[in-house]
Amino acid sequence: MKRTIGLGIIFIGLLAVGLTAGPSVVLKVKVQTANVHSEPVMSSGVIAQVKIGTMHESSNKVGDFYEISITDKEGKTVYGFLHSSVVEVFRTEREKARTELMAFPRSGYLPGRPNPYKTHMLISGIGFGLSWVTTAVVSLAVGDDFIETTLIPVAGPFITVARIESGRGYYKEGGKGMLIFSGIMQTGFLAYFIISAASKHSYDKKLVIMPSAMPAGLTISYRF
């Protein structure tokens, strides 16, 4: 009979530990200074204090207390308890990050983050300039008879093709392909620049227009 009672007590104890341990949670201290107690009761001794914003992981909750590990002044790892009233609790690091992200102002992506579309404008501007310079260099090298129209940004190469196709001249070797390719490149970079500029100015607003790898070429979103 005594053995049966003893085994029952052990089983109940193990069950209680199993129910208390649970999965790990992430704790964020939300008061200026929080006491770390030696036992999961408010009247127990304070073995350390942790500052606001510090993060701790806990896999054991006893009543209203979370057990955490900290490093003492001697560099040793010690265990103590934080009361639930002084911490914010997140199930995982990912949930913590998501919750903090959702708390950011909805006018923009991340506070303090530089506007990313400035980089897009720089890339598209350089791309457009290089495509135009390449067109000029190649046109001069092959002796383009219609260079005065070829060097018109964006539309120039297409105007030259139209002039030649109308019977006013002839193509140099590989000239037609070069002209069409040049026109497409300049048009693409110009469109990229315009979209990037619009995105840059709308970055902190609700309406966002930005380049996209999707077939449509751009994404338009509105944050309510």
Q: How many residues does the chain have?
A: 224
pLDDT of residue 115: 74
The CA distance from 21 to 54, in Å, is 22
Give the model confidence (pLDDT) of 132-142 as tens digits: 999 888 888 88
Higher per-residue pLDDT: 200 or 20: 200
**Which percentage of the chain shows pLDDT scores above 90?**
26
Question: How far apart, in whole angstroms, are the C-alpha atoms of residue 174 and residue 197?
Answer: 35
Strand partners, 68: 80
3-state SS record for 161-220 = HHHHHHHHCCCCCCHHHHHHHHHHHHHHHHHHHHHHHHHHHHCCCCEEEEECCCCCCEEE
| Digit-coded pLDDT (tens) for 39-63 | 999 999 999 899 998 888 888 889 9
Query: pLDDT digits over 106-164, tens only?
Result: 444 444 557 778 888 899 999 999 999 998 888 888 888 888 888 999 898 999 989 88
pLDDT of residue 184: 93
**% of the chain with per-residue pLDDT over 70:** 69
- Would the pTM of this model clear 0.85, i.e. be above it? no
Statement: residue 79 has pLDDT above 60: yes
- pLDDT tier at 73, thresholds 50, 70, 90: confident
